Amino acid sequence: MSRKLIVATSNPGKLREMAEYLTGLNWQLELKPQELEIAETGTTFIANARLKASEVAKALGEWAIADDSGLVVDALNGAPGIYSARYGKTDTERITRLLTALGEESQRQAKFICAIAIARPDGTIALETKGVCPGEILRETRGEGGFGYDPIFYVPELQKTFAQMSSETKNRVSHRGKAFAQLLPELAKL
């Protein structure tokens, strides 16, 4: 018998992505209700993940999982960071704003960070993990795949942007893939 795990998002794309990572585990994923809004008031990725998982779990009396992730650019003092999704209205606007902010800066190191938290039905946190994928920001977009900052986030060891990778490769090397890889053995024990 599978147990219900509420995904603290209204985004069906994120639900599908999480379902891919959790294949073979005895959890049935469901989106949180659209009307249940959780303000991301944390100052770190893990704080926001904990907050979303805990609030959704308490509101629904069910197990809940949440992630918070974003891009941290060294030369921009960590920006856009926890504001990655709010750095512009569209992916194109966010990329343009980031490239403009970096300008001719030669130090283009960056990393994607993903924090995941799982809360019990009473809102207490049962598990949490963090995955990091180091890379650098290109001066122009490359590749057609992915979303968000993927076309400008370059992973030197693979000599590709996230947007140039197959979804299998991206799932393996990305911040989210690394976070889920750490989480899966623990989640199987719950």
Q: For 3-189, CATH number?
A: 3.90.950.10
* Cis peptide, bond prior to residue 12, ω within 30 of zero: no
Using an 8 Å Cβ cutoff, are 190 and 127 in contact? yes
**pLDDT 10s digits, 80-117:** 999 998 999 999 999 999 999 999 999 999 999 999 99
Name the percent of the chain lying above pLDDT 90: 78
How sure is the predictor about 19, in pLDDT bands with cuts at 50, 70 and 90? confident
**pLDDT 10s digits, 121-161:** 999 999 999 999 999 999 999 999 888 999 999 999 999 99
Q: Global pTM?
A: 0.91
How sure is the predictor about 56, in pLDDT bands with cuts at 50, 70 and 90? very high
Q: CA 187, CA 180: separation in Å to the nearest integer? A: 10
The domain ranges of the chain are 3-189
Name the percent of the chain lying above pLDDT 70: 99
Residue 70 in 3-state DSSP?
strand
pLDDT given for residue 1 in this prediction: 64
Instruction: Say whether pLDDT at 11 is over 80.
Output: no
Q: Residue 159 — φ and ψ, nearest 5°?
A: 50, 45
Catalytic residues, by residue number, are: 68
